A and B are shown apart, each in its own frame.
Chain A
Amino acid sequence: MKIFDCPILGPRPASEFQCAGSALAGMQNDDLQSARHAVYFGDATAKVKREWWFHRASQLWFIVSRDTATDSVIEIALASAAGADHDA
């Protein structure tokens, strides 16, 4: 199983985490156009993605940089710390 080398929790198996989609899209609440764009023209190319990941056991949210081309985790940060620059 993939191991997330978490700076807060230490190495944890991926099964404890749950992906909640792109961290760049925010909540897509205020703008219908961007919401539609995310659905129909979402970026599906293989590259480094920033995503929301939830750790079930600790109830913590993380922003994870993940390279979908190599299926490797590059960086993990607490969402509250990383959240500022994603504020919609």
Chain B
Amino acid sequence: MTHRLPPQPGEWITRDAPLAFTFEGVACQGFAGDTVSSALLANGVRVLGRSFKYHRPRGVLSAANHDANVLLQTATDLNIRSDVSPVMAGESYRAVNTFGGVVRDKARAIEALSALLPVGFYYKTFHKPRRLFPVWERMIRKLSGLGRVAPGFPEARLPWRRLYCDCLVIGAGPSGLAASLRLAAAGARVVLADENARVGGSAAWTAGAGAWLAAAQATAQDSPTMTVLTGAFAAGLYSDLEVPLVSREGLTLVTPRRLLVTTGVIEQPAVFRNNDLPGVMLASAAQRLVARYGVAPFTRGVMLAGNPEACEAWVWLLERGLTLEALLLLPGFTPPPETLASLQARGVRMVRDVTALEALAQDGVLAGVRCEAGGREHRFVCDGLLMSTGWAPATQLLHQGGARFAHEAVIDQRIPTELPRGLYAAGRVNGVYDFEARRQDGEAAADEILASLGYSSAGTPRPARAGEAHSHSRPFFAHPRGRNFVDFDEDIQLHDLEVACREGFDNIELLKRFTTNGMGPSQGKHSNLNAARWLADYHGVGMDAVGSTTARPFYHPVPMGVLAGRRIRPQAHGALEPQHRAAGAVWMETGAWLRPRRYADSGPTGLAEYRAVREGVGMIDVSTLGKLEIFGRDAVRLLELAFTGRFASLKAGRSRYVLMCDQRGTVVDDGLAACLGEHHFYLTAGSGHVQATCRQLTQIAALYGLQVEVVDRTRQMTAINVAGPRARMLLQPHTPQGLDDVAFPFTQVRDTTLFGLPARMMRVGFVGETGFEVHVRYTDGPRLWQALLDAGAPLGLRPFGVETQRLLRLEKAHLIVGHDTDGVMHPFETPLAGLVALDKPQFQGKAALDLLQHQVTRRLIGFETSEGGSEALEECHLIIREGEICGRITSVARSPVLGKTIGLAVIECPAGQPLPEAMELRNGRGQLVRASLCAGAFYDPANTRQNEGAA
């Protein structure tokens, strides 16, 4: 590691933690804390990647997450940003987008063809002759794209989390850090986010800032109200100031009350021939490499200077032992007098008013610089050419927040002039450049925020903005042989911009689309400003007239795994889950609930369960049923407003089947309403719909100002339905309540005890046998289940699952809302029309139902086939009449007791017309199956079994 400097104050690497890795198969050494790029430079590797179009060698440009030409690939990951990604011990890295390695990339031959591939060539070529297009397509597909997806990549679903705070500060440079400290000191909850691994920003290479930075870091660490998120970039700014912060750990969605943007500025390259050679880099990139990683980016450097920062960087780098040969000044730029004196004292070789410039290559990397000034040619041998010519403010988030800007001629920078409520800016993005002034700007912004949040504030005034230009307005050098790149991501040269303008795409947005300038992975962070400056020059207008392209989210590419997040779905677990598991349940999901489909020992179709219910006794856990308890003077009124039926006549101890429609008249829920007293009802509702039903009831209560309370007891109660001819025989010995038809008739409800447990029992008939639904406290559920199992064993009791329950109810032709009904089915299309009391003055859906009773076009019917069970009919198979589709099956099953296939179906049949007695159903094999209409229940149509009970 020959290119390492002596330890730097505050450096990010740990020198006593060396690590080994490979790049393109070559063994390299680095330190913990290194990025891949910094470690490679320390190993003397200079070609780190290849450019997208011409496959030119590229190296470090920014070392600030904008080096889009240095994307790496490992066995499991791709598009790794080498300039910021921490190097991993033992990892094998390769450059993407090469054919045969980064050094000997065969695709570099494309550059020789560049004259044939002018900007926008793909709009014009490959179209004729058409038959050749597949050839071109194959070739283009092979050449384009970056990296290769490894199909065996580990699935990394990263979590999302939310943060709420008083103020989110984005950018932990001098202004952001100062602002955060001020906010936190006042007691405000602050989140400070920075895309870098550590806070401090440019303070690390600002003369005299070291002591302040160390103190600020310590204070930030100790602050109880401040959260510092490093390695997290702000992907965008959304409504209500919501900012997604993306990091390796996942996504943090921050909703602050105030947002302070201290994102600073992004250093911009100059445009000259071969400005892309490895070795040509931004001055701030060299400073980052030195200050953070102790890496010497060059042995002999030359600096291209167009702003005061160039001189500061020169002095800073000299003090760290680097060798700089010459300072080349852009036309019209003169260092400030005091800096000039200090530079001259150091014996700097200076070339003023450089009029022509090119970098010289040897073996694909920088070997020297040639420039002209005052009619003379100068040549320098160097392996580092630093560009310090200008800055682009990182205004993307401010743009997305709706800020307005104007180009400030003095600073030669776009400055926010109008910020929406809650949004603040400070520091260099706000045009404040001096180190002291940036801290003051941050503190002043913090004081404004504190005052707006009602904290006491010192009212620090905003400092003056910079009084001089920090960017050169024309950092361009034309060259007859080109290769003066404006956009490094897409290999766009100065000449390409001219071509676009000649073709008429001379507006900033059109120029971008035609040339793809700014459309690469770094989204124009190095190229948009130069393109705009060049266009202003081309048209001879000001920067405000040129405008800028739109900065949409995301600010930086966001991995798909981060966007996907973890797929989290709530899952409800009933009290009896261990009992079901012990009984060998085969599970199914019904909404959020996991329910036993059937039990493993009952055969593949659950026939044993079915037989138990029809011939002996069975039990099913129906705890998922919605269970609402309604109390209050207006309980009856609430039920009458919410449901289609009448309740005034319902006496205590009785229950009634209820139907709920929405305002369009669609059937949305059904259940049982049991009257427990004059002002007291117990309501069961559909398993998946109870929350909506509860919401409806409480809304109606609020709307009409009803004196009523609705309590959702769904998860407080366990319910078991015990059904079958021997149900009474099983239960009677264990309850004081008489269970015969006189003491406890069908549809009635009793509060009593069962096996000594307080139990609410309802005589129900869903499955068509004598049935008792027993509701007990959630915690009593397992005891009841076990007691029933023990007492029922001699009677052949079997637990049965949802599949058996559905078959049993189908034999009774009971519909399931949401299964047999769809999103527009109203009661007049179903056998439930009799439950709608249209003569009630008011209830939910009445207006629609008044209308719909006359607009019946289809009906829910029952059908049965007489064939031997080979019909192969399934749900959603179609009803065919005269070759036309006229309906579909909603439920279908083979009835063991009837020995035929039965089902429910929706069939087109306008009101007034008789239902067809016979129909044809088309199964999955395309065969037509004859079926006949069946009115009422298929099994026990007189309901004697459930109403009176058999045994």
Taking Cβ atoms with an 8 Å cutoff, the residues of A that contact B are 1-3, 11, 13, 18, 20, 26-32, 34-35, 52, 54, 56, 59, 61, 71, 79-80, 83-84, 86-88
Q: Which of B239, B699, B703 has the most CB of A within 10 A?
A: B703
User: Chain A residues with Cβ under 8 A from B253's Cβ?
Assistant: 1
Please tell me if B242 contacts chain A, counting CB pairs below 8 Å: yes
B641 CB contacts on chain A under 8 angstroms = 27, 29
Residues of B within 8 A of A32 (CB): 847, 850-851
* Inter-subunit contact A27/B702 (CB<8 Å): no
In the docked arrangement, what's the CA distance between A52 and B845, Å?
Answer: 18
A75-B861 Cα distance, complex, nearest whole Å: 50
19 additional A-B pairs beyond A30-B847, A83-B705, A88-B704, beta carbons within 8 Å, are A1-B162, A1-B253, A2-B239, A20-B695, A26-B703, A27-B641, A29-B843, A29-B846, A31-B847, A32-B850, A59-B694, A61-B698, A61-B699, A79-B699, A80-B705, A83-B704, A87-B703, A87-B705, A88-B842
Determine which of A34, A35, A52 lies in contact with B699 in the assembled complex, contact meaning CB atoms within 8 Å.
Answer: A52
- Asked if B663 and A27 make an inter-chain contact with CB atoms under 8 angstroms apart, the answer reads yes
- Are A27 and B695 closer than 8 Å at their CB atoms? no
Closest to A84 in B: B705
Chain A residues within an 8 Å CB radius of B699? 20, 52, 54, 61, 79
A79 touching B242, Cβ below 8 Å: no
Chain B nearest CB, measured from A66 CB (Å): 13
State how many angstroms separate the Cβ of B598 from the closest Cβ of chain A. Answer: 34
Chain B residues touching A, majority SS: helix
B844-884: which have CB < 8 Å to A?
844-848, 850-851
**Residues of chain B contacted by A79 (CB below 8 angstroms):** 699, 702-703
Contact residues in A for B695 (Cβ distance below 8 Å): 18, 20, 54, 59
Bound Cα distance A37, B894 (Å): 48
Q: Is the CB of A59 within 8 A of B842?
A: no
Complex: A56 Cα to B848 Cα, angstroms: 28
A2 to B847, CA, bound (A): 35
Task: Knowing A1-B162, A2-B239, A30-B841, say if A35 contacts B663 (CB, 8 Å).
Answer: yes
Q: A42: shortest Cβ distance to chain B, in Å?
A: 13
5 smallest beta-carbon distances between A and B, as pairs:
A79-B702, A35-B847, A61-B702, A2-B240, A32-B847
Known contacts: A1-B255, A2-B240, A35-B847. The answer to whether A30 contacts B842 by CB under 8 A is yes
Complex interface: chain B residues within 8 A of A87 (CB): 703-705
Residue of A nearest to B848 (CB): A35
Asked whether B325 is an interface residue with its Cβ less than 8 Å from the other chain, the reply is no
* A31 to B162 CA separation, bound complex (whole angstroms): 45
Separation of A87 and B843 alpha carbons in the complex (Å): 14
Q: CB-defined interface of B211-239 with A at 8 Å, one 1/0 digit per residue?
A: 00000000000000000000000000001
CB distance from A9 to the nearest CB of B (A): 14
Q: CA A18 – CA B694 in complex, angstroms?
A: 14
In the complex, chain B residues whose CB is within 8 Å of the CB of A1: 162, 240, 242, 253, 255
Find chain B residues with CB under 8 A from A2 CB.
239-240
| Distance of A17 from chain B, by nearest CB (Å) | 12
Given known pairs A2-B240, A27-B842, A35-B663, the reply for A59 and B712 (CB within 8 Å) is yes
**A34 — which chain B residues lie within 8 A by C-beta?**
847
User: In the complex the two chains form, is A27's CB within 8 Å of B255's CB?
Assistant: no
- A contact residues around B712 at 8 Å (CB): 59
Q: Which of B232-277 contact A (CB under 8 A)?
A: 239-240, 242, 253, 255
Are A27 and B239 interface neighbours, CB within 8 A?
no
Cα distance, A51 to B843, chains bound together (Å) = 20
Complex Cα distance A11/B842, Å?
Answer: 37
Expressed in whole angstroms, the Cα–Cα distance for A18 and B240 within the complex equals 18
Q: Please judge, given known A-B contacts A35-B663, A59-B712, A61-B699, whether A29 and B705 are in contact too, CB under 8 Å.
A: no
Q: List 16 A-B contacts (CB under 8 A).
A: A2-B240, A13-B162, A18-B695, A27-B844, A30-B842, A32-B847, A32-B850, A35-B663, A35-B848, A52-B699, A54-B699, A56-B691, A71-B239, A79-B703, A87-B703, A88-B704
A18–B850 Cα gap in the complex (Å)? 29
Cα distance A71–B162 in the bound complex, in angstroms: 21
Bound-complex Cα distance A26 to B712 (A): 24
- Does B343 sit within 8 A of A, measured CB to CB? no
Contact A3 B240 (CB under 8 A): yes
Interface of A is mostly: mixed
Question: A20, A27, A79, A84 — which one has the most chain B CB atoms within 10 A of its CB?
Answer: A27
Residue pair B162, A29 in contact (C-beta under 8 Å): no
Choose among B242, B698, B705, B847 the residue that contacts A28 (Cβ–Cβ < 8 A): B847
Q: Within residues 695 to 725 of chain B, which ones have a CB less than 8 A from any CB in chain A?
A: 695, 698-705, 712
Q: Which residue of chain B lies nearest to A54 when distances are taken between CB atoms in the complex?
A: B695
Minimum distance in angstroms from B748 CB to a CB of chain A: 30
Closest chain B residue to A63 by CB distance? B702
What residue in chain A is nearest B847 (Cβ atoms)?
Answer: A35
A84 to B240, CA, bound (A): 32
Beta-carbon contact of A27 and B703 below 8 Å: yes
Per the bound structure, the CA–CA distance linking A1 and B239 in Å amounts to 7
Residue in chain B with minimal CB distance to A86: B703
**Which residues of A lie under 8 Å from residue B847 when comparing CB positions?**
28-32, 34-35
Chain B residues with Cβ below 8 Å from A84 are: 705
A35–B705 alpha-carbon span in the complex (Å): 21
Q: Cα distance A3–B226 when bound, in Å?
A: 21
Residue of B with least CB distance to A71: B239
Q: Are A83 and B848 in contact (CB under 8 A)?
A: no
What chain A residues lie within 8 Å of B843 (beta carbons)? 29
CA distance A61 to B239 in the complex (A): 25
From A2, which residue of chain B is reached at the shortest CB distance? Answer: B240
Give the Cβ gap from A10 to chain B, nearest Cβ, in Å: 12
CB distance from B491 to the nearest CB of A (A): 41
Give the residues in chain A near B845, CB-CB below 8 Å.
29
Smallest CB-CB separation from B710: which chain A residue? Answer: A59
Residues of chain B with a CB closer than 8 A to A28's CB: 663, 847
Residue of B whose beta carbon sits closest to that of A88: B703
Contact string against A for B residues 457-468, beta-carbon threshold 8 Å, 1 for contact and 0 otherwise: 000000000000
Structural contact, B255 and A13, CB atoms closer than 8 A = yes
Q: Which residues of A contact B703 (CB under 8 A)?
A: 26-27, 79, 83, 86-88
**Complex alpha-carbon distance, A41 and B845, angstroms:** 19
* Shortest distance between the CB of B255 and any CB in chain A (Å): 5
With a cutoff of 8 Å between Cβ atoms, the chain B residues found around residue A18 in the complex are 695
A3 touches which of B255, B694, B848 (Cβ 8 Å): B255
Complexed CA–CA distance, A2 and B239 (Å):
8
- List A contacts of B242 (CB < 8 A): 1
Chain B 15-42, CB within 8 Å of chain A: the 1/0 string?
A: 0000000000000000000000000000
For the complex, what is the distance from the CA of A1 to the CA of B842, rounded to whole Å?
39
Judge whether A29 and B702 touch: CB under 8 Å: no
Shortest Cβ distance from A62 into B: residue: B702
Q: Residues of A contacting B255 with CB < 8 Å?
A: 1, 3, 13
Q: In the complex the two chains form, is B842's CB within 8 Å of A29's CB?
A: yes
Chain A residues with CB below 8 A from B851, complex form: 32
Task: Give the residue name and chain of the A residue nearest to B842 (CB).
Answer: A29
Complex: how many Å from CA A56 to CA B691? 9
* A69→B428 CA distance, assembly (Å): 34
CB-nearest residue of chain B relative to A23?
B703
Query: Given A30, A35, A59, A86, which contacts B698 in the complex, CB threshold below 8 Å?
Result: A59
Q: Distance (Å) between the CB of B332 and the closest chain A CB?
A: 47
What residue of chain B has the Cβ atom nearest to residue A14's Cβ?
A: B240
Which residues of the other chain, A, contact B701 by a CB distance below 8 angstroms? 80
Question: How close is B482's CB to chain A, nearest CB, in angstroms?
Answer: 49
Q: Hey, which chain B residues are within 8 Å of A20, CB to CB?
A: 695, 699
Contact with A along B678-702 (1 / 0, CB 8 A): 0000000000000100110011111
**A31 to B851 CA separation, bound complex (whole angstroms):** 11
CA distance A71 to B238 in the complex (A): 13
Q: How far is the CB of A76 from chain B (nearest CB, A)?
A: 14
In the bound complex, CA of A69 to CA of B834 (Å): 46
**Least CB distance, A87 to chain B, in whole angstroms:** 6
A29 to B3 CA separation, bound complex (whole angstroms): 82
Residues A27 and B705 in contact in the complex (CB < 8 Å), given A1-B255, A71-B239: no
